[in-house]
Amino acid sequence: MSKTLYDIFLKLYSSGAHTASLWNNKAAKWVNGRKNVFSEINNKLNHFTHRPVWMHCASLGEFEQGRPLLEAIKINYPQQPIVLTFFSPSGFEVMKDYKGVDCIFYLPMDSALHAKKFLDAVNPSLVLWVKYEYWFYYLQELKKRSIPILLVSGIFRNGQPFFKFYGKIWRRMLASFTHLFVQNDESKNLLMQLGFTDNVSINGDTRFDRVLEIAGHFVSVPFIEEFCGTAKVLVAGSTWEEDEIELLHFINTNPQIKFIIAPHEINKENINDVKDEFPHSVLYSDLQAAISKHPLPNVLIIDNVGMLSRIYKYASVTYVGGGFGADGVHNVLEAAVYGKPVVFGPVYEKFDEALSLIQAGGGISIDGPVKLDAVLKNLLDNDDKCNKMGKLAKLFVHEQAGASEKILKYIHEKRLLTS
**Can you list the alpha helix ranges (DSSP code H) found in 198-264?**
207-216, 224-228, 241-252
Q: Which are the contacts of 219, defined by CB distance < 8 A and separation ≥ 6?
A: 310
pTM for the structure as a whole = 0.89
Give the range of the structural domain holding residue 384, as residue numbers without chain letter. Answer: 220-399
The whole-angstrom separation of Cα 190 and Cα 157 is: 8
SS3 label, residue 255: coil
350: nearest Cα among 332, 324, 327: 327
The whole-angstrom separation of Cα 9 and Cα 304 is: 34
Whether 227 and 296 have beta carbons less than 8 Å apart is answered as yes
Give pLDDT, residue 294. 74
Give pLDDT, residue 419. 59
Query: Looking at the chain, how many residues does it have?
Result: 419
Whether 235 and 314 have beta carbons less than 8 Å apart is answered as yes
- Tell me the per-residue pLDDT of 99-121, one tens digit each, with 9 for 90 and over: 999 999 999 999 999 999 999 99
Beta strands in 68-161 (DSSP E): 82-86, 103-106, 126-130, 149-154
The whole-angstrom separation of Cα 277 and Cα 275 is: 5
The whole-angstrom separation of Cα 154 and Cα 186 is: 11
374 and 270 in a common domain: yes
The answer to the question of residue 418 being in a domain is: no
Q: What is the CATH number of the domain that holds 241?
A: 3.40.50.2000
Distance separating the N- and C-terminal Cα atoms of the chain: 39
Give pLDDT, residue 132. 84
Cα angle at 280 between 386 and 244, to 5 degrees? 55
Q: Can you name the residues that pair with 260 across neighbouring β-strands?
A: 235, 300
232 and 313 in a common domain: yes
What are the two backbone dihedrals, phi and then psi, of residue 33, each rounded to the nearest 5 degrees? Answer: -65, -20
The whole-angstrom separation of Cα 225 and Cα 221 is: 8
For 81-111, letters b (16+ CB in 10 Å) and e give: bbbbbbbbbbbbbebeeeeebbbbbbbbbbb
295 and 165 in a common domain: no
145 and 113 in a common domain: yes
Whether 330 and 264 have beta carbons less than 8 Å apart is answered as yes
255 and 134 in a common domain: no
230 and 165 in a common domain: no
Give pLDDT, residue 379. 97
246 and 167 in a common domain: no
Give pLDDT, residue 49. 83
The answer to the question of residue 211 being in a domain is: no
- Tell me the per-residue pLDDT of 218-250, one tens digit each, with 9 for 90 and over: 999 989 999 999 999 999 999 999 999 999 999
Report the number of distinct structural domains present in the chain: 2
246: nearest Cα among 374, 373, 343, 369: 369
Positions of the chain with pLDDT lower than 50, given as ranges: none
171 and 312 in a common domain: no
Give pLDDT, residue 121. 94
Whether 364 and 358 have beta carbons less than 8 Å apart is answered as yes
192 and 339 in a common domain: no
285 and 159 in a common domain: no
